[in-house]
Structure 1
Amino acid sequence: MNKPEAASIGLVKRARALAPLLAEEADEIERTRRLTPKVVSALIKNGLYKSLLPKNIGGFESPPMVFMEMLEEIAKADASTAWCVGQCSVVGMTAAYLDADVAHQVFGKPDDIAAWGAIAHAVQAVPGGYTITARWDFASGMRQANWLGAHVQVLEADGTTRMRPNGTPEIRTILFPASSATTHDMWNVIGLCGTGTDSYSVENLFIPDSHAALRDDFSALREKGPLYGITTYSMFGLGFGAVSLGVARATLDAAIDLARKKHSVGIAAMKDNSAVQGLIGRTEAKLRAARAYHFSTAANAWQEILNTGKLSEQGRAAIRLSATYTIHQSAEVVETAYHMAGATAVFKSNPFERRFRDMHTIAQQIQARDNHFEDVGKMILTNSVIPRGPTM
C-alpha cells in the first residue's frame, strides 16, 4: 500500500471518530436545516471534504471504496452530514478538469468547498467567457460552500446551441464565488433536513472561460490519476448508496439494541421472541448482502479503471444498478427496524424517527429511481454485457 492510499484510508478512522460530535449536534442540524459551525469546522479540520480532490492541490484522490466507507461511517451518526460531505466531495472532482491555477483558486485552501444544483439552463457565449441569468435548485451543502457551480448548455452568439462532435449538446460546469449568487431558503422537507439543499440564482453573471469546464469529458481532463476515469454521476451513485447503507446499519443496530432490552407486560421479551429473532436474522442478511454487492461493484469498477484508464458504459451501468438496488434494500431494512421498534420508534428522542425520514428522502432522490432498473434491463436484453462481479 502506498503512502497516499494509506493516508486516504485514514479518512475512515477520522470519520468514525467524529460520531460523538455528530450525534451531539444532530438535533441542532435538524432544527436549523444546515450543518452547525462545529460540525463544518471538524469536517474541514479532518480533511473530509478533500477525499476526491487531486493530490497536487491538497486532496487525497481516494479510491471509491474509501470514499464510500467514509460516508457510511458519517451516515451512521447523521445522514445530513454524510450527504453534504458526499455531494461537496464529488463536486471537488471538477478540479481535475480545470487549469492548475484555477483549481488552486477554487479548491486549494482547507476550507474551500464547492456545491452545485441540478442540471439546467444555458450560458451565452461572449468574448472571453459566458454570461448567464438563471436559478438552480437542489444544491446540497451550499450553506458551507464558498464556491457554487452549475451544469449548463452553451448558446453561441447567434443563439444556436453548441454541439459536441457526437451530435449532443455541449455541457459545461461553470464555477463562481458563492458571493456572486442570491440564495433562496427553500428546504422545508421531511428528511435530510440538515443538508440545506436550497436554491440560488445569478443575474447577468460573467463566467471566464477558465471557470467553465467540460462536464465529465475524459478528453478534457488535466489530471491523469485513475480516480478521474470515473464520472461524477457514477461517483454520486457510489457515495449516496453508501450513505443509505450507513443509515440502515445504524437503524438496524438501534432495533437490535432495543430488542435486547425491551420487555412488555404479559409478552415475552423481544430477545426471546422467535419471530423477532428470525426477522433480525433475515434483515441482517439483507443489509450485509446489499453492502457486499455495492462495495464489490465499486471494487470491480476501480479495477477496470486501473486496467484501462476509464470506466466503460457497462461499468457505469453496473454502478447505476448497484446504487439503485442498495438504496432500495436499505430503505427496506430501515422500514423493518422501524416497525420492529413499535411505539418506541415514533418519539424524536429515540434513534428511529429521524433516520426513517432521512432514508425515505434518500429513496426519493434521482439515484434511486426505478427507471434505472429498466435502463439496465434494456442493456441486458440488447446483449450489452453488464459486469457481474468476481466469480469464485
Structure 2
Amino acid sequence: MNRLPALGLIERARALQPLISDEAAEGERNRRLTEPVVSALIENGLYRALLPQSLGGAEAPPAIFMEMVEEIANADASTAWCLGQCAVCAMIAAYLDHDAANEIFNAPPGILAWGAINHEVTAVDGGYLANARWDFASGSRQAGWLGAHVRVVEADGTPRLKSDGTPEVRTILFPAASATMHSVWDVIGLNATGTDSYSVENLFVPERFAALRDEPSALREHGPLYKIPTNSVYSLGFSALSLGVARATLDAAIALARSKTPQGLKAMRDNHAVQSLIARTEASLRAARAYLYATAEATWHDLTATGVLSAYHRNAVRLATTWTIHQSTAIVDTAYHMAGATAVFRANPFERRLRDMHAIAQQLQARDSHYEDVGKALIETA
C-alpha cells in the first residue's frame, strides 16, 4: 500500500486556504463543512495525517500535524477543528486489527468522528450491545464511521474492571448509518463544525471494532507517534489551531491599520499607540508559537530517542498547549478591539474569528484547571 508522505501535508494545507476561505461563510450558515472543502481535505490526504503508514497514512510527527492544522485555521477555524479532531480519531487504528482498521479508513470517505466519554455497553457473545446517546461529535457530518468511549458492563450487570481496579473503557466503532443524528449545534462559534449528538438503539458492535484506546498493552503499531496519548495530541493540534486563528486576526488588523483613518483621529498607520500595540502583540504571538513548537519538538526528540513519553513531557505539553490557547485568545481580543467599529461587521475578517476563538477557549483543552495539575506536579517533583 502506498504511504502518504508527511512532509507534503503543510504545503497541501496552505494551498487549500483560498478554497476554505471562500467556503467558510456557507459552512457557517449550514452548520457543517461544505462538500468542496471536505472533498479537498480527503483528496489531499489531510485526514490521514496521523493514520499509521501500514494503512497508507502519513504517521506524521506532531509538529507537522500541528503546522498543517495551523495553516487550515488561518483560513477557517471550523475546518481546522474538524480536521484536527478526525485526524486524531484515526490514531485508534493503531489499536485495531488491521482488517478492521482497513475497513474503516480505506473505504470512502475514510473519516471517523466521536464524542465525549459517556455511558456503558453490555458485553455479549462476540461483542457489545449499545443503547446510548453521545454529544460533542465534531466532524460527524462528514464521517463514514462514528465511535464512542464507553464503560463495559458484564452480562450479569457488574462493571468490568482493569487490573488497577478502575473501570475498563473501550472505544466502540460503528458505521455512521447505524446511528441517529441529532442537530443540536446552535452556538456562537465554531458553528461549521457540526458538533452534533448521535444515538444508537440495540446496536451490536463486534469485538474487533472495540478498542482499548491509549492502553500501551493493546498497541498493534510500534511507531513513536502512538506512544503519545491521544488527549495530548488533541491538545497540540487545537493549540496550533488557536495560533492560526490569532495569526489571521492580527494580520487582518495590521492590513486595516495600513488604510483606515478613524473619524476625527489620525490614520491608524501614523498612530503611535497602534504601532506599539501591533509590535507588542506580534511579539506575544511569536513567543507563544515558539514556546509551543519548541515543547512539541523536545517531546518528540526525547520520545524517539528513548521510546518513552516521560511524565515531564506530558506536563510540558499540557502547560504549553493551555497557555498557547489563552495567549491566542488575548491576541484575537486585542486585534478585534484595535479594529474598532470595523470589526463588528460580518463582512469583515474579525467577528467570526472572535467568536470562533472564544468557542475554542471554552473547550476542555483550555481549562484553567490544567494549570493546577501542572503546578501540583512541579511542586511534587523532587
Q: TM-score, normalised by structure 1?
A: 0.95
Partner of 1:172: 170
Q: Secondary structure at the match of 1:300?
A: helix
Partner of 1:382: 380
Partner of 1:223: 221
Partner of 1:28: 26
Partner of 1:286: 284
Q: Secondary structure at the match of 2:174?
A: strand
How far apart, CA to CA, are the structure 2 residues paired with 1:15 and 1:383?
A: 40
Partner of 1:210: 208
How far apart, CA to CA, are the structure 1 residues paired with 2:147 and 2:223?
A: 23
Q: Is the 8 A contact 1:51 1:61 kept in 2?
A: yes
How far apart, CA to CA, are the structure 1 residues paired with 2:104 and 2:264?
A: 63
The one-letter code of the counterpart of 1:212 is: A
The one-letter code of the counterpart of 1:148 is: L
Residues 195-252 of structure 1, C-alpha deviations (whole Å, 9 max, x = no match): 0000000001111111100020111100111111111100000000000000000000
The one-letter code of the counterpart of 2:64 is: V
The one-letter code of the counterpart of 1:62 is: A
2:245 corresponds to which of 241, 244, 247: 247
Q: TM-score, normalised by structure 2?
A: 0.98
| Structure 1 pair 252–272 and aligned structure 2 pair: CA distance change class (3 A) | same
Taking the TM superposition and a 5 Å limit, the aligned residue runs for 1:1-150 are 7-109=5-107, 111-150=109-148
* Count of paired positions: 381
Partner of 1:188: 186
How far apart, CA to CA, are the structure 1 residues paired with 2:135 and 2:308?
A: 30
> Which is further off, 96-105 or 264-273?
264-273
2:370 corresponds to which of 362, 369, 372: 372
Q: Is the 8 A contact 2:3 2:57 kept in 1?
A: no
RMSD: 1.2
Q: Is the 8 A contact 2:49 2:60 kept in 1?
A: yes
Partner of 1:236: 234
How far apart, CA to CA, are the structure 1 residues paired with 2:155 and 2:204?
A: 15
Partner of 1:260: 258
2:196 corresponds to which of 172, 195, 198: 198
| Structure 1 pair 307–4 and aligned structure 2 pair: CA distance change class (3 A) | farther
Alpha-carbon distance, 1:312 to partner: 2.2
How far apart, CA to CA, are the structure 2 residues paired with 1:238 and 1:264?
A: 39
1:312 corresponds to which of 310, 313, 317: 310
Stretches (4+) displaced over 6 A: none
Structure 2, unaligned stretches of length 5 or more? none
Q: Is the 8 A contact 1:44 1:110 kept in 2?
A: no
Q: Is the 8 A contact 1:334 1:359 kept in 2?
A: yes
> Which is further off, 38-47 or 265-274?
265-274
The one-letter code of the counterpart of 1:181 is: A
How far apart, CA to CA, are the structure 2 residues paired with 1:383 and 1:42?
A: 47
The one-letter code of the counterpart of 1:277 is: Q
The one-letter code of the counterpart of 1:315 is: H
The one-letter code of the counterpart of 2:257 is: A
